[in-house]
Every structure is written in C-alpha cells, then in structure tokens.
Chains A and B, each alone.
Chain A
Amino acid sequence: DTAVSQTPKYLVTQMGNDKSIKCEQNLGHDTMYWYKQDSKKFLKIMFSYNNKELIINETVPNRFSPKSPDKAHLNLHINSLELGDSAVYFCASSQAQTGETYEQYFGPGTRLTVT
C-alpha cells in the first residue's frame, strides 16, 4: 500500500542521453511535485502540478519537463543529460488545492548518476 512510488530507484546513464522517471501516488491528492536533492543533501523544489496544470517552475532548465497523464501520475523527462544533473530526485504529493493542508508526502527517490 505504498503511498508515493517512483521508478526506477537507480538510474545510471551517459551524458547527452534522454531519460524519464515515473511517479505515482495512491493518496487521492490533487497536487504533485518534483524535488531535487543535491550531493549536499539540500532539497529544492523543481515543479508542482495541480489538476494537470503547472503551477511553479523554479529556474529549472527547459531540458526538464514534467508530464502528468492523470491526477495520480507525474513523470519527469530529462533531455540531453549533463553531469550536473546527477542527484536524487524525489516525487511528492499533497492535498493542497483546498488550502486546508500543506502536508507533503514523499516517494523513496530516484538516484540519477550521469557519467
């Protein structure tokens, strides 16, 4: 009964490749997010999606594109991978639209290594 799941758990690829990370939540939440955790463990928001609409996009290169086929899924596509993209990427979800709660629940993370 995993709440927020991500695949794959580990991803090793070469510079210049294109890759995708998948995220699914079964919490019935209406908003999903992608965060990046760098080598110093600092977590930073990348995107959030609410009802298939992009809400925020924090100075992320346009090589990164989130895609949400439905409310329960938010996938992250990365084109032309660079060494600096190596990090752990976390998906999260929350029931934020009502404004009553901002608790976010995180997935287990995808460790991306670009060689």
Chain B
Amino acid sequence: QKEVEQDPGPLSVPEGAIVSLNCTYSNSAFQYFMWYRQYSRKGPELLMYTYSSGNKEDGRFTAQVDKSSKYISLFIRDSQPSDSATYLCAMSWVGGADGLTFGKGTHLIIQP
C-alpha cells in the first residue's frame, strides 16, 4: 500500500465550477499537509499549508484535513482556465527537517 494515494485524473470541469481534489494516506504520523500546483515544465508552487485537522481558506482555495479518516481535500471555487495544472498533495511528520511525501498528482483541466 502506497503511503499517499491520489487519483491522477485527468479531471475535467467547466469554468466556474467548484473543484474537489483529494488524497488519502496510511501513515498516522503525518502532521503537516500541503497542496502544490505544478504547471507543465515548472516547479511545484506551494498553495496551501495546514497543520493537523481542520480547514484553512485562502481566497478561492480551501484546504481540509480529516486525520481520523486520513483524508485531505483541496477545494477550488469559481475555477478558472488558469487553474488548469497538476495538483500535488504532500505531507510530513513532526521531528525535524524531513522531506515531503507526495501523492502522484491530479491533472486538472478547466474548460473555458
């Protein structure tokens, strides 16, 4: 069983729709959760960062963490064609300068 599972898509939605992206994980030691956006041939760009369970909102983006279910989500409201990219979830545990464990990414396409 992989540590972090993420549906690779592609996920295609019309402009203006609410997008829901999700990851599940198996390691209960994960405490820090991040979402990155990666455009083609670019580096991952940090979108959201959350610690432990709960919700966090930033503009059109909302990150949600449910540690009891080992499930995290990213919601994008009023989606725009410029949101078309690969979205990567990532997580790490407490205890030092560890690397992140990534999901494989979901390819999102927003249709104009």
Contacts and interface: CB of A to CB of B under 8 A. Distances in A.
Contact of B99 (A4, A45, A105, A109): A45
Interface residues of A, number: 32
A42 B102 contact: yes
A43 B97 contact: no
A48 interface: yes
A106 B39 CA distance: 13
Contact of A109 (B36, B42, B90, B98): B42
Interface of B: 32, 34, 36, 38, 41-46, 49, 86, 88, 90, 92, 94, 96-102, 104-105
A48 B99 contact: yes
A108 B102 contact: no
Contacts of A50: 96-97
Contacts of A107: 43
Contacts of A55: 96-98
Given A102-B92, A106-B45, A109-B42, A41 B104 contact: yes
Interface in A95-113: 96-97, 99, 101-109, 111
Interface of A: 4, 30-31, 33, 35, 40-46, 48, 50, 55-56, 58, 90, 94, 96-97, 99, 101-109, 111
Contacts of B98: 45, 48, 55-56, 96, 102
